[in-house]
Amino acid sequence: MKSTLLIIWIAFVGLFNLPVQAQDDVYVKEYLQRLENSKKYILKIAEMLPEDKYNYRVTPESMSFAENLLHIGYAMDWHSQSLLGGREARIWKTDTVFKTAHKSKEDMIKLINKTFDETIKLITNFDTNKLSERLDYFGSNRTKRQILMLLADHVTHHRGQMLVTLKLNGITPPRYVLYQ
């Protein structure tokens, strides 16, 4: 009798877990589509600005166009490879991979492209059962699902600053609607 009740209980719990798993699979699939389009958009933006304008700052205290671009890469690497993937985090102040020094426009574009590809690969292979796992995020308790949303917000935030640089340099940015 106990084994029959146990089997019924396991089946019952399992049936309710399947819709959640299916939703997470759809969420990741849709997230990846959005990330692919975000990659195309940011690469287009990075290509549009002439290399001699890559150090342009909207205000003296703001990041340059190049710094925003590589900061996106750094944050993408940290959110995906470290927070989701478990790799030891790079330290922003001492990291040289995502610093602009001694990098050409071409080097930076290759790096951001590679970082998007690595992030997409990690998320493609990510175990969606782990999306509800929680971790510390600057003192806040966040799920790994929330980490994905925070990553997307961060990319958008810094990309927006890059768009301002284009406009202030007389360059019309690509239409966002083509990359949604």
- Record the tokens describing residue 108, joined without a space: 């930076």
β-pairing verdict for 140-143 and 134-137: antiparallel
At 6, the pLDDT band (50, 70, 90 cuts) reads: low
Q: Tens digit of pLDDT for each residue in 27-46?
A: 999 999 999 999 999 999 99
154 annotated to a ligand binding site: yes
Q: Tens digit of pLDDT for each residue in 69-93?
A: 999 999 999 999 999 999 999 998 8
158 annotated to a ligand binding site: yes
- Could you give the domains of the chain? 2-179 (1.20.120.450)
Helix 105-124 × helix 2-48 angle, to 10°: 170
